[in-house]
Structure 1
Amino acid sequence: MIDTSPSLALVLLVGFLVGAGVYLLLERSLTRVIIGISMISNGVNVMFLIAGGRAGGPPLVGSTAPEEMSDPLPQAMVLTAIVITLGLTAFLLSLAYRAWQLNGHDEVQDDLEDRRIARLAESNEVPARSTDDAGTTLAEEAALARDETFVVPGRGTRGRRGPGMGLDDEELR
């Protein structure tokens, strides 16, 4: 009988790579995020190979008996995942390089608008859910406070600049 259970060392390797990758993915530094994504993808690739079953001969017709061949599908999936991860890593490296050029560091900053809306929610000026008859939410209240026009799904365009795209006739000229 052939033993088809995966090696405990490989299972532990998958757990370590995915766990460490998730930890690094939650950091603010783009360099650590890139390393975390690479670790997660490598862990998932090893998991695919473990799930593919036992090692066998090359999956080429005529070179190995069909019952001794390894499954080619996990190998193809891992090869595809490697190419996708390479493209994603190149994109993230370009983002990190650009952030380094602009800011001198690669830390992701808090979004100013998110902090502003959080402050509005904490203050007593605008409740988390407005009680007006139109059912205006906190995000809509914040947009109204900035004198912007926004589209509410199912209710059309709202704002203080009229029903168009939010621009006055003078601004269009």
Structure 2
Amino acid sequence: MEILMIFVAGIIISVSVYLVLSKSLIRIIIGTTLLSHGVHLMLLTMGGLKKGALPIETEGIKNYVDPLPQALILTAIVIAFAVTAFFLVLAFRSYKELGTDNLEEMKEVPKDE
């Protein structure tokens, strides 16, 4: 199961790199969001996909699941959501000001007269 998750994370990350290298600002934002999801999946896979009990100390439990990867992923999801919201607001504002979301056209800054 872990090998399958590694391949899925690799595919997600490769698609996100392709989107980040495009010229459209919306594709770049979608690419960064997919990149964060791919990293979350990699963190979960590196933590180990195993079955076990809750990490509460009781007698008779030999296998338990490590809660640290889930805590890291939960924190990373919140941070990724905030960064994505900021990127979307920034993209909307730049589209309203410049009239385009193409990065090649954004390079030419109009001079104030």
TM-score with structure 2 length normalisation? 0.81
Contact 1:11–1:47 (CA under 8 A) maintained in structure 2: yes
Q: Percent identity?
A: 37
Distance 1:91 1:32 in 2: 15
- Give the counterpart of 1:31 among 11, 19, 26: 26
Give 2:80's match in structure 1, choosing from 85, 88, 91: 85
Highest RCO, 1 vs 2 (Cα 8 Å, sep ≥ 6): 2
- Where do 5+ consecutive residues of structure 2 fail to align? none
Query: 1:75 — aligned with what?
Result: 70
Q: Is the 8 A contact 1:57 1:64 kept in 2?
A: no
The answer to whether the aligner puts 1:106 opposite 2:101 as a matched pair is yes
Among 30, 35, 60, which residue is 1:40 paired with? 35
Backbone CA RMSD of aligned residues: 2.1
Per-residue Cα deviation, 1:136-170 (whole angstroms, up to 9, x for no partner): xxxxxxxxxxxxxxxxxxxxxxxxxxxxxxxxxxx
Shift in alpha-carbon separation, 1:13–1:101, aligned structure 2, 3 A: same
Q: How many angstroms apart in 2 are the aligned matches of 1:14 and 1:64?
A: 37
Aligned pairs, number: 107
Structure 2 partner of 1:53: 48
Output the TM-score relative to the length of structure 1: 0.55
Larger mean CA deviation between 35-44 and 65-74 belongs to 65-74
Shift of 1:95: 0.7
- Aligned-pair distance for 1:66? 4.7
Note the 1:1-173 alignment, pairs <5 A: 6-57=1-52, 59-61=54-56, 66-108=61-103, 109-110=106-107
Corresponding letter in the other structure for 1:110: K
